[in-house]
Structure 1
Amino acid sequence: MGSVSEARFHYVDVPSVTDGLRHATSGTTLTAILRTSDDVRVEARYEPRRTSASSASFADAADTAIVLAHGFTGSVDRPAVRRAAAVFARHAAVVTFSFRGHGRSGGRSTVGDREVLDLAAAVAWARSLGHGRVVTVGFSMGGSVVLRHAALFRSDQEPDARTAADTDGHAAAHTDAVASVSAPARWYYRGTAPMRRLHWVVTRPVGRLVGRYGFGTRIHHEDWDPVPLSPAEAVPLIAPTPLLVVHGDRDPYFPLDHPRMLAAAGPCELWVEPGMGHAENAADEELLGRIGDWLVRA
């Protein structure tokens, strides 16, 4: 699996109907096929904000779009993703998408490496719709992706060698705030039974067949080369962009040393949620509402 340094970022290709915030005010839901900088087609959906008592008083709410990055084996149509999007839409417009190798997107999953390009395309699409403020939230694999994306696509500096991005595309793809939920802090973790099963799915030919036909996820067969920046290494590069780290104290995949390692790596706000399990499937409506509120206010 190649790292993000191998690709150049450019503006995404979107349907000609995407002509700004007219869609947010008219209440229209949009679908699009985005093209990443390495020419992968990514399915995406835009939903306007549903004005509510909790969000109507914030001046930034109408200008904000929340881009949601799902976990491994998820997709734009999975019930947990749709539930999270519905809660976030009470606070701001929402863009959901399927990572490469998931849902109706093209390509094959690199399990968090080149997925930063998928997220960059979705963020740039949200800006092309007229939103001046775009924020990101990711769950599990998506949580690691939003951290690396925030570190690699910065608005306050020129692109470095790790992104090799052109200046205009780089600026369009940056995030204004980031929330990472149930994310690992380091790669190759096998300390829990669920993670050992996941590594079997990803690294073994039979496991990848299970991923394809059992979970609808097409996984790349090549190892990472080079190994991408880890989530913990990404955190200190994110500031001054506001960062929220959320983790359940009953997460069966990643124990609490992962969020604590992320929090120790750089400036962030850490929420350890009592009784919560893993990722979007375990995030209840109350927690999702708090995350949405934080993203709008950050």
Structure 2
Amino acid sequence: MLWKGRRQSDNVEDERGQGGGFNLPGGRPGQFRIPVGGRSGGGMSLSTIVILVVLYFGLKAFGIDPLQILAGGDGGLVPGGGGQITDSSGGQGGGTGAPASDEMKQFVSTVLAETEDTWTGIFQAEGLTYEDPKLVLFSGQIRSACGSASSAAGPFYCPGDRKVYLDTTFFQQLDQQFGASGDFAQAYVIAHEVGHHVQNLTGILPKFNQMRQQMGEADANHMSVQVELQADCFAGVWAHFTGQKGILEQGDMEEALNAAQQIGDDTMQKKMQGYVVPESFNHGTSQQRQTWLARGYTSGKLSDCDTFNTPI
């Protein structure tokens, strides 16, 4: 990826070296974590949310505000939304952050800037305004609006404060533990989390969290897979437009597709416990993740990212 010398985002907050929070059990890479529970039935029908997701960028032409329809006017999640993150109080802990000029921060800032440019253009084409997310670099532990998390939880997006959280040592884990190396594999992780931000802005995440409260575990896991695969597809859409700028090098998409393969539910479960439990999948299989990432990359169209109305 030819990223050096390109614009860097000002929306990166470097909190590395700061303390606070609680350790969590091992999490999943690239995930928007959502607590599962409740009873089945009730809530907005799946067909309704499918229509709203697919037609979101066309509804403005008819004078309809999809954000108000989907997010209930406030765009927020119910308490606890955003994942299995321990609740906490207080501000950031003390400590000294890493140097602001290190190469990893430059890389992350550049990738984030590229996502800003791409999604700003897509939203503007529909007469909408894209709101940039913040990306927080941390080491060890961090407190977010969704509670406290440790680096063991992996990169995550918190809808409560509209921030992506990333401990960059995860990239070493991605390479050494999951066998997914390369700068574009890392860029894919960031783009996936920004994809969750797009879902939050369009009201998909708030509505999903509302519906999830009325679902049993199996149904909630299934819809979680749909949400995650759509974020993969959105990452592919970003890669499509990034490739048009001449930034991608030969083999870059192969790096991203390999990363998607390595962090599929089935591959990870087989590697970590020796067997798979399909009913527990909440991110998608390796094949599904690769398929939807490639689909977004090939078409560059959000309408092709309808994981809610397409067999996955």
Would you say same fold, with TM above 0.5? no
Higher helix residue share: 2
> Taking structure 2 as the reference length, what is the TM-score of the superposition?
0.27
> Taking structure 1 as the reference length, what is the TM-score of the superposition?
0.28
Larger Rg: 2
